[in-house]
Amino acid sequence: MIDFLFGEGSADARQLTNNLGGDPSELVGFVVFGGLCMFYMAWGIGANDCANNFATTWASGALTLKQCVLIAGVCEFCGAIFLGSNVTKTFRKGMVDIKMFDGEDGRTLIVVGMTAVLFSAASWLLLASTFGLPVSTTHSAVGGVIAFGVISKGYSCVMWDKVGMIVASWFISPVLSGVFSFCVFYALKHNVLSAGTQRSFDLTLKVAPAITFIMMFVIVLFVFYKGAKGIGLNKTDPGVAVGIAFGIAAVFAGMSIPVAKNIKEKLDRQEAENQLNNVEGGAADNSAPGNSGDSANNNNDIELKIDSKTKEEETSNTDSQELKQATMSKTERLWCGFCWVTASFQALAHGGNDVANSVGPYAAVIAAHEGDVSKKADVPFWVFVVAGVGIIAGLAMYSKNVMTTIGKDVTQMQPSKAFSAELSATTVILIATAIGIPISTTHASVGAVIGSGVVDDGFKGLNWKTLGKVFTSWVVTLPIVGIGAAGLYGFMLPIAVETPIV
């Protein structure tokens, strides 16, 4: 790669990067451009990675797209602001040896290189989101960092053992979450959901406290170890964390009993009203068939049909989830509540954890501009605010393609299946984080959807054409972002060295 970009004298070219000259503190323009790229990257995280958290819930009809954006607007932003670490890794996942970038020359390389990484990774997220491909934002950032390290300091600069762990995660993440999701949804389907409409409704009410306990226990631990590093909760003693999670889960389980009872009464009341309206409507249709109002009634029927058709077309073009909610069974409506909780806490943890994929590289830019760079750097509060706004904007503006792929194109979703997938992905991510197994949130979410989908129709019920595109996008993420970052780095470095932007 170095020979290709710099010509045959790759060693001489690499030596050139050690004698750049110039003052990195003068590269103010690069810092400003890097900030814009950071927002661009955060936007891409919202459009692609954040969409994973809501894809199954949205596709199942539990939440409309507007509701997803509203919840994400609160949870993602709060997660980024209050749970995001104010001391973040400057090089994502420690992929590059920071010691090789000492001195003013090294600082200049970092300012230029990490700006190139942000722009390249964000552009790949935009492209992937356009085609509805769920890719890992972490791996996107890592791909750029690897290429920057190789082209600036050589292959020895990169921690290749960690690259191998990333490759392993392509298989570990979906397999673990897929198996877990299969087991969860299989148990629910054969013990609760397949018992008939009324029976499954009653069974769901009975098991609601137990499900709530399990769900909250997993979620609280997930927030501790995955999404609250910014306030140090991840450093809590495991025994204390388990005790806190147990207590909070027990409280929510107790609260679920009156809530479930209230929901049951509300749904029963709605069902009775619908039946009464149907009876009254039938009686009105059969009465006085020969009166002079028949023509008017017929005209009204025609107008109603036209109006209904128009509304259906408008709904299909915007958000058909309202229609799904209106036709959903009582049992599935109960499961909607569980989906809301899992999606909300996933968004909270996601905002606190994955905001670092945009903030981390920019922290390196700021640190290199101001002084020597270390493995970790303080991040100004305003950076998290900007990143949080970017994530929300990306989700609101451009997330539907990815949400459609995960929630609809792979397999059809209903709230109970969506809950199984979300809880399984969260659990697997939590376990993997605790024991140090490399895992991707995106890959885990896709694997969980596959696992729950297999329960219904087996592997033949999955859209393998779509999955083939998704799997391919995972593999090409590292090289595509790497090539883009290397090219942009090679283009911008002479500008920074010869004509510093001030």
Q: What is the pLDDT of residues 401-457, one digit of tens each?
A: 999 999 889 998 899 999 999 888 888 877 776 666 667 788 888 999 999 999 988
User: Could you tell me which of 435, 427, 439 has the C-alpha nearest to residue 219?
Assistant: 427
Over the stretch 176-187, which tens digit does the pLDDT of each residue have? Answer: 999 999 999 999
Question: If you average pLDDT over residues 146-162, what whole number do you get?
Answer: 87
pLDDT band at 104 (very low <50, low <70, confident <90, very high): confident
Q: What is the mean pLDDT of residues 124-133?
A: 95
Residue range(s) defining the domain that contains residue 342: 2-280+319-498
pLDDT at 162: 79
Q: 156-162 contacts: CB < 8 A, separation 24 or more?
A: 156/97, 157/96, 157/97, 157/100, 158/95, 158/96, 158/97, 159/94, 159/95, 159/96, 159/97, 162/93, 162/94, 162/95
* Average pLDDT value over all residues in the chain: 79
User: For residue 411, is it within any domain?
Assistant: yes
Our measurement of the distance from residue 76's CA atom to the centroid of its chain's CA atoms, rounded to an integer in Å, reads 10
In angstroms, the CA 396 to CA 389 distance is 11
Closest-CA residue to 451 (of 193, 172, 184)? 184
| Band of pLDDT at residue 49, cut at 50, 70 and 90 | confident
**212, part of any domain:** yes
d(CA 112, CA 106): 10
442/142 Cα distance (integer angstroms): 15
Whether 294 maps to a domain, the answer reads no
Spell 22-45 as b/e; 16+ CB within 10 A means b.
Answer: bebbebeebbebbbebbbbbbbbb
Answer yes or no: is 312 within a domain. Answer: no
Q: Is residue 443 part of a domain?
A: yes
Mean pLDDT score, 470-481: 94
Residue 469 lies in a domain: yes
- Sign, CA dihedral 492-493-499-502, equals positive
Does 305 map to a domain? no
Q: Is residue 288 part of a domain?
A: no
The pLDDT of residue 9: 37
Q: 217-269: per-residue pLDDT in tens? A: 988 887 776 656 656 666 778 788 889 889 999 999 998 888 878 877 887 78
Q: Would you state the pLDDT for residue 305?
A: 43
pLDDT band, residue 300 (cuts 50/70/90): very low
Q: Structural domain tally of the chain?
A: 1
DSSP 3-state assignment of 215? helix
Of 65-69, 462-466, 487-491, the one with minimum mean pLDDT is: 65-69
Position 10 scores a pLDDT of 42
